[in-house]
Amino acid sequence: MFDQFAVLKENALRHLAAAADFARRVHRPQVAQQLEEGARHLAANRYNIALIGNMNRGKSTLLNTLLGRSDDNLSPVAAKVCTAAIIQYLSREAHPDKVAEAQVFLEGQPEPLRVPVEAVREYITEEHNPGNEKAVRSVNVFGDFPLLHNVVTLVDTPGRGAVQRHHEVLLDEFLPMADAIIFLIAGDLPIEASERSFLEQLRDAERERIFFVLTKLDEVAARDLPAVREWVHKQIKESGLHCDRLFEVSARGLFEARRTGQDADEIARLHRESGVAELEAELERFIIAKSEKNSALLPRLRALLDEVGNLSNAVASDAESDLAAFVDDTGKIEQELKDLEGRAKELRRTRDKATEKFRRAWARVVSKFCRDFESRATAAADRILEKINKGGLIGTALGSFKIKRLIEDALRREVSVLLPTLDEQLAAAAESLKAEIDTGWETYQRSRAPTGLVTPTASLLGLGGVATAGAGALSSVGAAVAAWADFASKTNAQGALQALWCALKGGGAVNTAATAAMTATVHAAGGIVITFAASWIAQKIIVAVQENRVPELVNSALKTMNAELEKKLVERSQEIIGIYHDLVEEEIAITEERLRDLQQSIASRDPQARPALEARRDEAKQLFAAQRDLAHSLRLLA
């Protein structure tokens, strides 16, 4: 799986590392940092594919086949054992020390046990760990899994219909993190009542991500096959999900062929005919096109490549014009440097004026949003209260997930009405800030055009590219963080909120570029509003109902929450302003420094100066070509 993507990823990582090194050498530490940050993000990115199925639905066989294992040492295939914990299979490259080992996380212990991969059985089978007496929570297996390509993580989940009830909790925690879910159905026992009710539970969250795989068809009499297919489709449909495609897979033959070491042609044939190849291809296609991670990752990678393009292009043409200037006398450069000072002052003035205007516009927009949200949230809270009073939910659902989800859904609906406007208005504010600074920059460099010495440098021009990508980048961070926060909030809403802010501050996307930060803020705002407000209001409602003071408590809760939200949103504009401030300063400094360097090397008649410039120009050209190729592959892939 993910053959093409794996190659692209590897090349991109190499390219970004080289580009970052180059950026540092041409005194663009910010760009270098950005590239490195992006590379780290890309390197750490893995798609999670979760396998779900009741006991004896062919899960372990398919798992081993997808892992490319030729033995069953890891995931037990025999019928008498069933997996007792959630197990994540990762390529050993994903391990901090690149070693093959397993980490076993036990209940209540933050540090995992580290055991050899072969010893995993001791923890994951009913045979060796009956009723999960060892209190295993989850296991990470880092091993040689050729087919994962360091791009995919397979998540094996305990059989849902098994007697051990404690598994379900784990499963519910892990599912939200999956990019795709494989739901296994055995042809000889197609969709039983317990599976049906599980599908119904999945209905709300998992519409698109589920791949239905029908196994064990060889155990079904040929005359029953059409009825089995029809039955499965019907059950899925009646449970509220849809199944465009039912993958029919019989992995055992392929698994056996690999185990007994059949020749490559035979294995390739079985790979095709078993339906495994098709499933893998569809999973790959789906994940690349639809994964939430990619809505951030791929645009961000494109933006980084653009940035490398802009940087290398600018450096090459700077070097070109510096080479041309070698014949000129240094007096001209002296004069240019003097003029630059004055123009830099003007640029700074333009920038400060623009950022101040931006700050005010941003605050206006945020304040309007918060007012609107408050009134909508109040109305939503009233409706929820009414529903609770009417439906007699109190005492049964109150305090449980149900009520929180009710509130979250309601708030999500309200926020989703307001978000497009907020998005648009904040984007307009940032856009006009960018336009004004661009104009200022043009003035700064155009008046120097006669010398041909200064060309627009990378970062400012690059900003445009990054900005467009930024939307994706932030929405990605926003989505990921929101999902994560959602997950965390189940246990601790306050902690989740803090974690969310940490993730935003530390998470790479924010400092990629100003616009990215902006979009991030907006989208994260939605997440914050929902998780924050939902748990807050849920708690308040519970208290309020107990104390019989519903309206005023809920209202004051909403007001406090809103004030907090507004403050946090306003704070975000400071970050964008800060980024523009630094960018302008950095560009001015670099331009002046470059001219001074040039002046000095001409004056000192340094014999190395010319070859060094030529080498830099050539390296920049190479980088430019490389990023163009990569961008092309990326386009092909997507």
Which parts of this chain interact with other proteins (CB under 8 A)? 54-56, 78-80, 82, 126, 161-163, 165, 187-190, 192-194, 197, 220-221, 224, 227-228, 231
Q: How far is the CB of 156 from other proteins (least distance, A)?
A: 17
Q: Could you give the CA distance from residue 512 to residue 520 in angstroms, rounded to a whole number?
A: 11
Q: How far is the CB of 165 from other proteins (least distance, A)?
A: 8
Q: How far is the CB of 166 from other proteins (least distance, A)?
A: 12
Cβ closer to other proteins: 205 or 221?
Answer: 221
Nearest one of 448, 411, 430, 419 to 325, comparing CA atoms: 448
Cβ closer to other proteins: 163 or 563?
Answer: 163
Q: Exposure of 269 by Cβ count < 10 A (0-12 exposed, 13-18 middle, 19+ buried)?
A: middle
Cβ closer to other proteins: 29 or 131?
Answer: 131
Q: How far is the CB of 233 from other proteins (least distance, A)?
A: 12
Q: Classify 113 as helix, strand or coil.
A: strand
Q: How far is the CB of 194 from other proteins (least distance, A)?
A: 5
**CB neighbours (10 Å) of residue 638?**
12
Q: What contacts 392, CB < 8 A, 6 or more positions away?
A: none
Tokens of 321: 């014009």
Q: What contacts 462, CB < 8 A, 6 or more positions away?
A: 31, 306, 307, 310, 311
Q: Could you give the CA distance from residue 476 to residue 482 in angstroms, rounded to a whole number?
A: 9
Tokens of 555: 């209202």
Cβ closer to other proteins: 163 or 502?
Answer: 163
Q: Could you give the CA distance from residue 481 to residue 486 in angstroms, rounded to a whole number?
A: 8
Cβ closer to other proteins: 161 or 399?
Answer: 161
Cβ closer to other proteins: 38 or 190?
Answer: 190
Cβ closer to other proteins: 58 or 527?
Answer: 58
Q: How far is the CB of 209 from other proteins (least distance, A)?
A: 25
Q: Classify 141 as helix, strand or coil.
A: strand
Nearest one of 43, 44, 41, 56 to 14, comparing CA atoms: 43
Cβ closer to other proteins: 197 or 421?
Answer: 197
Q: Could you give the CA distance from residue 478 to residue 482 in angstroms, rounded to a whole number?
A: 6
Q: How far is the CB of 258 from other proteins (least distance, A)?
A: 20
Q: How far is the CB of 95 from other proteins (least distance, A)?
A: 33
CA dihedral 10, 49, 247, 168 (to 10 degrees): 170
Q: How far is the CB of 136 from other proteins (least distance, A)?
A: 18
Q: Would you give the DSSP letter of residue 112?
A: P
Cβ closer to other proteins: 192 or 278?
Answer: 192
Radius of gyration over alpha carbons of the chain, in Å?
A: 29
